[in-house]
Structure 1
């Protein structure tokens, strides 16, 4: 009798749970639909396109993995890959370090810190193309502000567009300027969660300012650092507008990255199958990095 009586009483609970699940799926259905329309469908289309030889007009010719085989024999692809890797390492490392430093400074009782915060996050308020145009005004080798200042103090002008190394440096510096404010903002928010009692306890134990930052503050910022590391690396893989506006990939492909190289193949030479293959490779590298970093972070957290 008890089991028979208990069975009907569970039915209303199950109905309520099913109605709750249905409501939840109903709320997320529009987002899932937009995700499928603007992310999944283009990804599948790019993968299919990478298996074809096509200029974008008319039907393509299925060539299988031929486009991917071309990548391994293409020196420009490897140069663009090297440029992408180097700029990613430089921009990510510098933006994380400088973002943490500026967050620590602006988290202290610094005069006019509100104004300084606004200046640092200013690139986030305008489009990246506009920010790249500002960088163009600064680094233009003929009429740029920086070369004018160098010549004013008796130093020679720098070939920011015609020299390979200076051109690459200008791309890295402008990209770093674009990322610094975002990293600072995330670190600044994370610093609000560091307990004052931990800082005071470390101070009472005789820890100096550097020791408190190294052994107390930095470990507490681990989740924020992991988030910024993944976001900055993925962003660096996708940099296009800064390179396109500042150097156009030149001189002689010295500043070409994978995204600009894919653009040139897809919309300049109209080899869209090959450009799609470059995009797929870039996606795979980004996903592999994110997965490895995620598993590494989880393993470290479990061991701790």
Structure 2
């Protein structure tokens, strides 16, 4: 019995049909894609140009000015003369002592107080939106308005703080005029003016902690402080360390609060900071080379602090 024959038409392999999308794209679609990409690259180029003009160029220019000297309109290479001028200035070491003191006091108050406020706000179940607005309100106020408020509070004659001290029979204090209290007064004002942002960041981190961890801690008999130490702080360690670095960088560059509250230098130079000394070199002494050299020293120090933070973070991750 012979095998059945297959028709020639059936033996042929059918060719895949060509879809409409496999063909060449219409010219209109290509033009639209080109315009879309050009628009995106245009916005990107604009951002890069702005960043270069207002961030990269000043840094490069500062680096060059730190080793140059300008006299009678002539710019010459000065080498390390500007750095020697800065290091031999007695105000240099006083400014660094004041800046470090401000940083330490700001970390004690400005780092701990927002975290405590965030923990307290996290316990509220009602009116959290209004409380967040109340905490963040000082950040929205202009710095000049906040400084005027604290100048009224610190006024040695009719200030509210001295009135409270007088009510309890305590002698009035020269808050901004006394070298022993001027820096602490500036730190308190700066903490009140800037704590809102950190508080909201802490609050967002706290609300991301699973409630089961607190329930397990309560079952183990942990109180409030033990829950904060064993649950809250470990769960927010990354945010705490990052904000610590940001606060160190910000406080080392403090300028607005001392400048507006005490005129910059303060009584007996007690509130002279590094950035205010840079301001004096540039705008009071017209020594832009020394100002750039001091700015370069501050840049190197803050870069070193950031590098140490990154190194420690990588070591903990590994």
Give the TM-score band, short-chain normalised: 0.7 to 0.9
TM-score, normalising length: structure 2:
0.81
1:258 is matched with which residue? 274
Distance 2:140 2:67 in 1: 39
- Structure of greater relative contact order (alpha carbons < 8 Å, 6+ residues apart): 1
Structure 1 residues 29 and 92, CA gap change in structure 2 (3 angstroms): farther
TM-score, scaled relative to structure 1: 0.85
Q: Deviations over 1:241-292 (max 9, x none)?
A: 1101111221121110001111112111212211111111111111111111
Out of 167, 173, 193, the residue aligned to residue 208 of structure 2 is: 193
Residue 166 of structure 1 pairs with residue 181 of structure 2 = yes
- Deviation per CA, 1:188-244, whole angstroms, max 9, x where unpaired? 010111011222222223322222211111111011112211211111122111101
Q: What is the distance in 2 between the residues matched to 1:23 and 1:115?
A: 41
Q: Which residue of 2 aligns with 1:107?
A: 122
SS of aligned partner of 1:60: strand
**2:152 is equivalent to residue 137 of structure 1:** yes
1:8 counterpart residue number: none
Match of 2:45 among 23, 26, 29: 29
Q: 1:24, CA displacement in angstroms?
A: 7.5
Residues 197-216 of structure 1 aligned to structure 2 (within 5 Å): 197-216=212-231
Question: Are the structure 2 counterparts of residues 187 and 269 from structure 1 closer, same or farther at C-alpha, using a change threshold of 3 Å?
Answer: same
Relative to structure 1, is the Cα distance of residues 123 and 38 closer, same or farther in structure 2, using a 3 angstrom cutoff?
same
Aligned counterpart for 2:287 among listed residues 268, 271, 275: 271
The number of residue pairs the alignment matches comes to 283
Match of 1:54, SS state, is strand
1:244 aligns with 2:259: yes
Over aligned residue pairs, what C-alpha RMSD do you find? Answer: 2.3
Q: Is the 8 A contact 1:132 1:241 kept in 2?
A: no
1:294 aligns with 2:282: no
Match of 2:140 in 1: 125
> In 1, Cα distance between the equivalents of 2:148 and 2:199?
23
1:86 is paired with a residue whose SS is: helix
Structure 1's 140 and 81: CA in aligned 2 closer, same or farther, altered over 3 A?
same
3-state SS of 1:53 partner? strand
Tell whether the 8 Å contact from 1:129 to 1:241 is kept in structure 2 after alignment.
no
Cα deviation per residue 1:82-139 (whole Å; 9 max; x = unaligned)? 1111111211232221111111100012675544432321121122233222222211
The aligned runs of 1:172-183 (5 Å cut-off) are: 172-183=187-198
CA contact (8 A) 2:153 2:159 kept: yes
Name the structure 1 match of 2:22: none
Structure with larger Rg = 2
Relative to structure 1, is the Cα distance of residues 146 and 59 closer, same or farther in structure 2, using a 3 angstrom cutoff? Answer: farther
Return 79-88 or 291-300, whichever deviates more: 291-300
Equivalent residues in 2 for 1:65-84 (5 A)? 65-84=80-99
Q: Residue 100 of structure 1 contacts residue 187 of structure 1 at CA under 8 Å; is this kept in 2?
A: yes
Task: Report SS of the residue matched to 1:95.
Answer: helix
**What CA distance in whole angstroms lies between the structure 1 residues aligned with 2:90 and 2:137?**
38
Structure 1 pair 28–99 and aligned structure 2 pair: CA distance change class (3 A): same
After superposing the two structures, state which structure 1 stretch, 143-152 or 232-241, moved more: 143-152
The 3 A distance-change label for structure 1 pair 287 and 127 is farther
Greater mean deviation of Cα atoms: 106-115 or 190-199:
106-115
